[in-house]
Structure 1
Amino acid sequence: MLKPLSVFIGLRYVRSRHSKGFSSFISASSTIGIAIGVMVLIVVLSAMNGFERALATHLLSIVPHAEVVAVNSPITQWPKSVARIQQNPHVIAAAPFVKTQGMMQKSAALKGVEIRGVDVMLEQQVSAISRYMIAGNWQDLTLDNGVIIGAGIARKLSVQVGDKVQLLLPPANLNKQKDSETQQFPVPMTQQAIIVGVFKFGGTIDDTQVFINLVKAGELLGYQADEVQGIRLKVDDVFAAPQIVRDVAFDFDFYVYMLDWTRSHGHLFNDIQLVRLVMFIVLVLVIAVASFNIVSTLIMAVNEKKSDIAILKTMGAKPSTIMASFMFQGLMNGMVGCLLGSSLGILISLNLTDIIRGVEASLSVEFLSADVYFIDFLPTLLRQQDVINTVVTALVMSLLATIYPAWRATKVEPAQVLGQA
């Protein structure tokens, strides 16, 4: 006999069980339950991986990976600081910036905005903003009084490229006035600007962000020619950004704030991790419930095969052989379920984006809106390790479910069973 006795007996029992009506139904239900649990878990994990990748590649292509911002006084001689920061092996690029909160007005319409003064050339090394221009050109930011705004701001103010708007900014010397004569309600500074470009990225960034030339922003906010408020970093590992910006900040000889994307948008990543954990636990429990249906199947099989077990014992079969036979019989359900579930899960995960788009088109609905989220599609990324972990988890649960019924089979007394026969 080429196969072990326990495997041979287990396969015989599996084939004979398929002809039993109720036993066959219970066995099929456990197999289908395991397959569904494995399939859904693989799909959910792939979707969570896709969101992580979208967070790292899409959102963080615009949102700063990290920033060092001056505390008491501006960063002087910023070209030297940028060059020194770029010597860090984990920093891909660095660019200066000046930012402030303000208002943008067009006729009677008014919108609160964050105004960010940037170097036109260096900003393209740390940000992909130029790829999201839907009107105008990023290079036009060098024009005098030119500004680039988000699509949400343009829609709110009903403006387009070439229109003139008014910026309301805090006074340049507001932070320098320390005497008691400082006005409690200072009059905002006004500045005429021309819309030279509009970008559309998605999410709240379109509703708040305004870009202006670094030199012009420095003049408006009272900075000298070589002074900036902070320096933005682009790092090689976004999930190591907190440590990288800390290392960079320690090289400065003056105080700076250490900011990174985990402070401003880290909640998105934390939400993804939380959903992943909750869904993993829920779906593992689904697999567990389906796996323990194997208990019912095997207990019925043990009751049906008592006479066979008694004969095997009288012929000298060891309890381990009998136990292994029934464990293998139950494990077959888990193996078939894992095979079906993993195959369907991989197939769906690889085509999940197209499937969801097809559902959206057929139902005329939109599950993800770019105006609310930073993407308008359901991303997916299938990882081999997730498939392996899911299949191993399901197989282990299936194996655990077979232990008790198989142990019960070893407790059959041949004298009682054959005597009744």
Structure 2
Amino acid sequence: MYRPLSAFIGLRYLRAKRSNHFISFISLVSMLGIALGVTTLITVISVMNGFEKELRSRILGAIAHATIQPVDGEMEDWHSVLGEVGNHPEVLGAAPYIEEGVWLQGEESSGALLRGIDPALESRVSEVADKMVMGELADLQPGEYGIVLGIGLAGRLRVGPGDRVTIIAPRLKATPVGASPLMRRFTVVGAFEFGEYENDSALALVHMDDAARLLRMPAGDAGGVRLRLADMDQAWRVAREISTALPGHYYVRDWTQERGNLFQAVRTEKTVMWVILSLIIAVAAFNMISMLVMVVTDKQSDIAILKTMGARPATILRVFVIQGSLIGIIGTTLGVIGGIALAMNISAVVPYLEQVFGFSLFPSDIYYITELPSELRAGDVSKFALMALGMSLLSTLYPAWRASRTHPAEALRYE
């Protein structure tokens, strides 16, 4: 079988038992360094992807992708607005709402965001009905003044189903003794848990009609419309298109204005982790440069003999490029296999490590996320593998060029 001379010699140098064991050790360290770097990159970025997905699911399960509300006053004919919104091809669901920051008083007191909803339509824009841990969302009936609390908020107020909670709204009403805030007693009928601090500890839900009575709004009016979209990244554009098509003037807000900074911080952290962990591969590449330089020095006489036999400088260059590239390919392959295996089984590995070393990575009394999420993406694996291969190839160029510049007479002078 035909095999190019440069490939034959490069493979032979890689397989041969070296007299210089230090060079062999540096080769092994370089290979393992690349494998470790790729494995770590794939695993850490997969965990960050899983964390971002889990965070997005828990946060956006309670808030809408976008909201549309009138600039002045309330939305009187929200039924027709829902009909107009539903005609947009990128809107999956829409529901009316009323929101107000309030003060809640139970056994203890706490501030909260009060949201008036229509229980029959709320499932179109949020997942709160699936997150109920006590009671049902359908228990919110107009005129009965029921309230559903986040599990953290219920714990802070020290109340449960059947207990009474006083809602104090920051709006004033005139009384014979002067102005006083609006307030009304509500009965706790349920609780929900999203597993995200802000939603669970600062959100309270009531029927929209009861919220309108509490805030002295005209019956049947809404504060605005919440939207759920096919592509949440296009929320601002879609909401602007809808508000422009509607008669009147509307204020538009999307999810990035409420929680966008948090997701931006996660993306920034992923970028920083990628840069830092890439240095592991860079260090392995530098080790490969030093190893190949020592190999070239060790093989000076071989290179000189090849040149005297007619080998061209390009042939010598390819010998060492092939040798170094094979180290990179083997290290990258091991790293990809190890990274994929670890990323896919991280949820089983972490409990084992916790058991062996006697610590808890995510204590349930501190963190809502009690296990390490992971989402392996083929694009990330390909990107890291190509980066490692590229660094490996670049690290071979200088030693290979130096080998191709060897002068046979000088190399063989003392042989």
TM-score range, shorter chain: over 0.9
The equivalent of 1:101 in structure 2 is 101
The answer to whether the 8 Å contact 1:62/1:128 transfers is yes
Q: 1:120 to 1:372 in 2, by over 3 A?
A: farther
The equivalent of 1:75 in structure 2 is 75
Q: 1:249 to 1:15 in 2, by over 3 A?
A: same
Instruction: Choose which of 191, 194, 200 in structure 1 pairs with 2:187.
Output: 194
CA shift for structure 1 position 227 = 1.5
**Deviations 1:322-363, CA, capped at 9 Å, x for gaps:** 000011111121111101111110000111123234444666
The equivalent of 1:113 in structure 2 is 112
Which amino acid is 1:215 matched to? Answer: D
What CA distance in whole angstroms lies between the structure 2 residues aligned with 1:345 and 1:207? 37
**Deviations 1:293-317, CA, capped at 9 Å, x for gaps:** 1111111111111111111111111
Which amino acid is 1:28 matched to? Answer: L
**Deviations 1:122-141, CA, capped at 9 Å, x for gaps:** 01111110111111111101
Which amino acid is 2:398 matched to? Answer: Y
Q: 1:225 to 1:323 in 2, by over 3 A?
A: same
The answer to whether the 8 Å contact 2:65/2:228 transfers is yes
Name which of structure 1's ranges 33-42 and 57-66 shifts more when overlaid on structure 2. 57-66
What CA distance in whole angstroms lies between the structure 2 residues aligned with 1:393 and 1:360? 33
**Deviations 1:197-216, CA, capped at 9 Å, x for gaps:** 01122212111111111111
> Structure 1 length as normaliser, TM-score?
0.92
CA shift for structure 1 position 420 = 2.5
Q: 1:361 to 1:220 in 2, by over 3 A?
A: farther
1:115 aligned counterpart, secondary structure: strand
**Deviations 1:8-45, CA, capped at 9 Å, x for gaps:** 00011112255531111111111111111111011112
CA shift for structure 1 position 61 = 1.5
Matches within 5 A, 1:231-242: 231-242=225-236
CA shift for structure 1 position 172 = 6.5
1:161 aligned counterpart, secondary structure: coil
1:23 aligned counterpart, secondary structure: helix
Q: 1:419 to 1:395 in 2, by over 3 A?
A: same
Which amino acid is 1:292 matched to? Answer: F
Which amino acid is 1:326 matched to? Answer: F
The answer to whether the 8 Å contact 1:65/1:234 transfers is yes
The alignment of Structure 1 onto Structure 2 pairs a total of residues equal to 412
The answer to whether the 8 Å contact 1:78/1:227 transfers is yes
CA shift for structure 1 position 98 = 0.7
The answer to whether the 8 Å contact 1:201/1:374 transfers is no
Give 5+ residue unaligned stretches, structure 1: 175-181
Name which of structure 1's ranges 7-16 and 354-363 shifts more when overlaid on structure 2. 354-363
The answer to whether the 8 Å contact 1:118/1:213 transfers is yes
The equivalent of 1:136 in structure 2 is 135
State whether structure 2 residue 203 is matched by structure 1 residue 204: no
CA shift for structure 1 position 58 = 3.1
The equivalent of 1:394 in structure 2 is 388
Identity of aligned residues (%): 38
Give 5+ residue unaligned stretches, structure 2: none
What CA distance in whole angstroms lies between the structure 1 residues aligned with 2:161 and 2:122? 21
Instruction: Choose which of 397, 401, 407 in structure 2 pairs with 1:403.
Output: 397
CA shift for structure 1 position 83 = 1.1
CA shift for structure 1 position 376 = 3.5
1:420 aligned counterpart, secondary structure: coil
Which amino acid is 2:46 matched to? Answer: S
What CA distance in whole angstroms lies between the structure 2 residues aligned with 1:391 and 1:282? 16
**Deviations 1:145-168, CA, capped at 9 Å, x for gaps:** 111011112111211101122111
1:284 aligned counterpart, secondary structure: helix
Q: 1:387 to 1:205 in 2, by over 3 A?
A: same
What CA distance in whole angstroms lies between the structure 2 residues aligned with 1:361 and 1:204? 31
The answer to whether the 8 Å contact 1:145/1:194 transfers is yes
CA shift for structure 1 position 366 = 4.7
The answer to whether the 8 Å contact 2:61/2:194 transfers is no
The equivalent of 2:303 in structure 1 is 309
What CA distance in whole angstroms lies between the structure 2 residues aligned with 1:77 and 1:370? 46
Root-mean-square deviation (CA, aligned residues, Å) is 2.2
Which amino acid is 1:67 matched to? Answer: T
State whether structure 2 residue 202 is matched by structure 1 residue 224: no
Name which of structure 1's ranges 376-385 and 335-344 shifts more when overlaid on structure 2. 376-385
The equivalent of 2:316 in structure 1 is 322
The equivalent of 1:179 in structure 2 is none
The equivalent of 2:162 in structure 1 is 162
The answer to whether the 8 Å contact 2:75/2:223 transfers is yes
Q: 1:364 to 1:314 in 2, by over 3 A?
A: closer
The answer to whether the 8 Å contact 1:172/1:220 transfers is no
The equivalent of 2:123 in structure 1 is 124
